[in-house]
Structure 1
Amino acid sequence: MKKVAYLDCPTGIAGDMCLGALVHAGVPLDYLREKLSLLGISDEYQLRAELVHRNGQEATKVHVDLTNDHDREEHHIHARHLPEIERTILAAGLPNQAEKMSLAVFRKLAEAEGAVHGVAPEKVHFHEVGATDAIVDIVGTCLGLDWLGIERFYCSPLPTGGGTIKAAHGQMPVPTPAVLKLWEYRQVPVYSNGIEKELVTPTGAAIAVTLADAFGSPPRMTIQKVGLGAGSRQLPIPNILRLWIGEETASTTINNYTATNTELETIAVLSTQIDDLSPQAIAYTFDALLTAGALDVFTQPIVMKKSRQGVLLTVICHPEKQSICETILFRETTTLGIRHCLQQRSILPREIQKVSTPYGEVRVKIAGTNGNITNVQPEYEDCAQLAKENNVSWREIHRLAWQSWYDKHPPTFS
C-alpha cells in the first residue's frame, strides 16, 4: 500500500505553513536544520518552531528568521536568479527525491514569474524565488515529504483570498499574478471563503501545483497522522494548514486482477442548451470533445421557452480539460453560454486485458470493487474493426471475446 498525503487548505497555503504541518506530523526539526545547512546559506537565517493557538486550536508555527531584519527590506541583497538556486541545490547532496522535488518547484515558480513579466525563467530576477526564506520553505518542505516517505500527494481546492498586498513591484491584487499563473498551469479548482487577505502565496502555490498528483476531495485512505501548520495571521476561521498522512485503501487480487474499493475523483460538468443547430454539427462536436479528452458527452431532448424543441448538451471532463472543452463548445455550436460546476464521482478501478478470438485480439475492460469483479466488457472499437475485416457481425465478435475472457477467468463471486 502506498503512503499518501492530503493537504487540506481551508485558509490557503504558504511555505512556512507546509513546514509547520510537517514538523507537527513528526519530521524532526533538527533533521531539517542538518539537511538545509548543506545549502550553504545557514548564516542568512535561523529556523525555529513553536506551538501556537489559532482560534483555540493548537498547531505548529515554523519561523525562518533572517539574520538581519533589514535584509527583508533591502531586497537586492538576497535576490537570486534561478540558475544560481539550481546550482546551490545540486551541490548540496540532498536526498535524491528531495532534490528532484525542490528543483521542480523552483522551476515551476520561475516559469510562472517569467510568464508574468515576459522573460525567460532563467532571466527572472525577482525576490520571491530568491529570498532566503523561500529557499528554506521549498527545500524544507521537499525534505519533510521525503523523510515521511510520501508516494502520492493530493491537495484540496484553494481559497482565492482578496484585497491587495505590498510587493517588490508595488501594490498588487490578491491573488497575485504569479499565483494566478500557477493555478492556470494546473487548472486548480478555487473558491472564495470570504476572507479578503492573501491566503495563497507564490511559494505555497508552487509547492501545491508542482507536487500534487490531483486537486479535489481526499483520496480513499486510512489516516495515520495529522500535521497542523499555523499561518501568521489570526483569521475568522483557524488559520491552519492540515496535512493528512496515511495509506491508500488495501487492494485484493482475484483471478490475477487487482480490484480495490471505489475511488472518488473531482470532475467538471459543463452543460448548455441548444435549439438552432444541425444534428450533424452536434455529432461533430461530440467527436471533437472526446478527442480533446472529455470523459463523456451526451445530449437529452428538452422543451425550451416558447415550446421550442432543443437538446441539453452535457460534457464530463477532468478539471484540467474544462478550458479546452469550453473552447470547443463555443467554437462548434451556437451556444451563447455554458454552465459549469465541479462534482465528485465514485469510480470503479479498472484495467485492460487482451484476449484471443478466432478473428484476432480484442481488448477487454475489467472493473471491480471490494475484491469482486463486477463488469467485463470487450472494447467496442476492437470488435467493430474485426467485424469489418472479417465480414462477421459485431455481436459475434463481442460474444467470442467475452467468452474467451471467462474461459480463463471463471467467476468466483455471486
Structure 2
Amino acid sequence: MQLHLDTTFGFDGMSLAGALAHLGVDMRPVLSALQQLDLPCRLLNVPQGPAGPGFRLTPADEALPADGLWPVSGLHAALESLPLPDEAREQAEKALRLLVEAQAQAHGVRPEGLAFAAREGVFVLLSLAAACWALALGRKALGITRVTASPLPWSSGTTQGPRGPLPLPSPAAALLLRGLPLRRTENDSDYSADPLPADGVALARVLPDAFELPEGIVRGLGVGYRPSGDDVWLRVWVLEEEETTPETPPVRRENRREETPDAQRRGGNEQIAQLETHLDHLTGEELGAALEALAALPEVLDVLWLPGLGKKSRPSGVLRLLCAPRHREVAAAALLRHTHSLGVRYCLLERTVLPRGAGRCLTGQALGPEGVMLPAKLYRLEGRDYARPEADAVREAAAALGVGVPALRMSRPDEY
C-alpha cells in the first residue's frame, strides 16, 4: 500500500496525526504516553470541515503553558522519554535536529543555546512525536510500505509569530526548504495560519520516500485539521499499487532507475551526483570551515578532501562531495559560496547500495553490564543483518559518560 500526503493546503505533524486517526489508526498508545508526560491531548471529530469530515489532534489547555522557555535539551529529553517505535524515534529525532539547526541559524545562535517559547515547544514536540508515531502505527494497521507527497505549497505574506510578525515561509522554514519541490498556491493570502511551519518542513525532509503523483487504486482517504482553525488541512490517501502481468511490463518506480538515495532502503542500483573542484587558495582555517559547512547541509551526502600538489608544486587538493541528482544545483551553489572556487565539475555516477534502514543497537558493553543503546544504521549483507552506531550519537554518549569515543566500541573481557 502507498500512503500519499496531499500537501496542497499545508503540512504539519498534528494534521498528519489527525488524518491517520481519521483513516482508523488507533492513536490510544500515543495519547496515553503523552498523558503520562503531562501533555494530555484529545482527538476531536470535525464533522463539517472545508475538506470534509476529519479529525483534529489538539493539546488540552493544561498542556499549554502561558509563558516560559523550553530549552533544546529539554525537548530532546522529552522525546527520548516517549516509548516510540525504533523507526519513529529515529525519524522524530532527525526532524528535531534539522529543526533546531535551522532555527539556530535563523536566530544567529548555537544549536545547544536555542530555547523555544514554552507554548511553541509543546507544539513542536507534539507535532514531531505524534506524526512519526502515528505513521509507524499506520504502517502496521494499513499495510503501508511506501510514503509519497505532493510538492509543498508556496505561500507569501506574513503570519503572527511568538515574537511578532513573520514572513511566509518563516526564516527557519525557508532554510529547511532547500532541495524540496514547491508549487504556488492560488490564494496564499487567505491563510490565517502558516501552511508550512518549520516543524512541518522538517518532517517533509524525513517522512516521504519521494515527492511524486500518486498511482494506484484508492482504498482510503483521511483528513486532518490543525489544532486551531480550519483553513489549513492535510488529506492523506491510501492507494493499492496495481499489479501487472509479465506480458505487460509495469511502468512503476521499482522498475525505473532510481535517481535519489530513496533506493537505499531497498538496496540496488541508483544514480548519484559527484561534484568536485581543485583548491589551492584557502588557508587551513578557511578550508576547515568550508568542509564543516558543506558536511552540515542536508542535501550533501558526503564530503571528501584529497590533499596533493598542483601547478608549480603548490600545495593543492580536490574537494569532492556527493548528493542526489536533484540536489546538484543546491550543492554546487554551496560549494562555490564556501570556497570561492571559480568553477565546479560534476558527473553522474552509478552505484550499488545495500538495503538499509534506521534503528538502535547496543554498544559500549565494557562501560557497564547493560551497555549503551544508541541510534544506528541497519543494513543487510550476504544474508546477515548488521548495525552500525551513528557517529553523532557515539560522540554525544561518550561526552555524557566522560569517556573517549573508542570506549564505546570496546568489548568487556571475560571474567578472570
TM-score, L = length of structure 1: 0.57
Matched, 1:120 2:118: no
Query: What per-residue deviation string (whole Å, max 9, x for no partner) do you get for residues 237-275 of structure 1?
Result: xx4311122444547789xxxx743348999xxxxxxxx
Between stretches 221-230 and 101-110, larger displacement belongs to 221-230
Superposition deviation, residue 139 in structure 1: 0.8
Which of 199, 203, 212 aligns to 1:207? It is 203
Which of 320, 330, 333 aligns to 1:323? It is 330
1:19 and 1:229 in contact (8 A); partners too: yes
* Matching residue of 2:18: 20
Report 1:14-413 matches (<5 A): 14-38=12-36, 40-42=37-39, 45-55=40-50, 57-67=52-62, 71-72=65-66, 74=67, 76=68, 79-127=69-117, 131-149=121-139, 150-184=144-178, 186-196=179-189, 197=191, 198-218=194-214, 220-231=215-226, 232-235=228-231, 239-250=232-243, 260-263=250-253, 291-292=274-275, 318-324=325-331
1:59 and 1:228 in contact (8 A); partners too: yes
Superposition deviation, residue 93 in structure 1: 2.8
Pick closer, same or farther for the CA change 1:128–1:52 going to 2, 3 Å.
farther
2:106 and 2:172 in contact (8 A); partners too: yes
Superposition deviation, residue 54 in structure 1: 2.8
1:82 and 1:107 in contact (8 A); partners too: no
Query: What per-residue deviation string (whole Å, max 9, x for no partner) do you get for residues 138-197 of structure 1?
Result: 21111110011144322211112222122223221111111111102x433342333213
What is the alpha-carbon distance in structure 2 between the residues aligned to residue 166 and residue 200 of structure 1?
13
What is the alpha-carbon distance in structure 1 between the residues aligned to residue 118 and residue 73 of structure 2?
15
**Sequence identity (%):** 21
Q: What SS does structure 2 have at the residue aligned with 1:57?
A: coil
What is the alpha-carbon distance in structure 1 between the residues aligned to residue 118 and residue 212 of structure 2?
27
What is the alpha-carbon distance in structure 1 between the residues aligned to residue 93 and residue 35 of structure 2?
17
| Structure 1 gaps, min length 5 | 268-288, 294-316, 334-349, 353-414
| Structure 2 gaps, min length 5 | 260-271, 277-323, 337-341, 345-349, 353-416
What is the alpha-carbon distance in structure 2 between the residues aligned to residue 265 and residue 173 of structure 1?
39
Pick closer, same or farther for the CA change 1:92–1:193 going to 2, 3 Å.
same
What is the alpha-carbon distance in structure 1 between the residues aligned to residue 156 and residue 118 of structure 2?
19
What is the alpha-carbon distance in structure 2 between the residues aligned to residue 82 and residue 12 of structure 1?
25
TM-score, L = length of structure 2: 0.56
1:36 and 1:140 in contact (8 A); partners too: no
Q: What SS does structure 2 have at the residue aligned with 1:13?
A: coil
Query: What per-residue deviation string (whole Å, max 9, x for no partner) do you get for residues 101-124 of structure 1?
Result: 221121111111112122232221
Q: What SS does structure 1 have at the residue aligned with 2:41?
A: strand
What is the alpha-carbon distance in structure 2 between the residues aligned to residue 160 and residue 351 of structure 1?
34
Pick closer, same or farther for the CA change 1:158–1:252 going to 2, 3 Å.
same
1:230 and 1:240 in contact (8 A); partners too: yes
What is the alpha-carbon distance in structure 2 between the residues aligned to residue 156 and residue 183 of structure 1?
14
Pick closer, same or farther for the CA change 1:265–1:228 going to 2, 3 Å.
farther
Structure number with larger C-alpha Rg: 1
* Matching residue of 1:339: none
RMSD value over aligned CA atoms? 3.7
Pick closer, same or farther for the CA change 1:146–1:158 going to 2, 3 Å.
same
1:129 and 1:135 in contact (8 A); partners too: no
Aligned residue-pair number? 273
1:114 and 1:120 in contact (8 A); partners too: yes
Q: What SS does structure 2 have at the residue aligned with 1:245?
A: strand
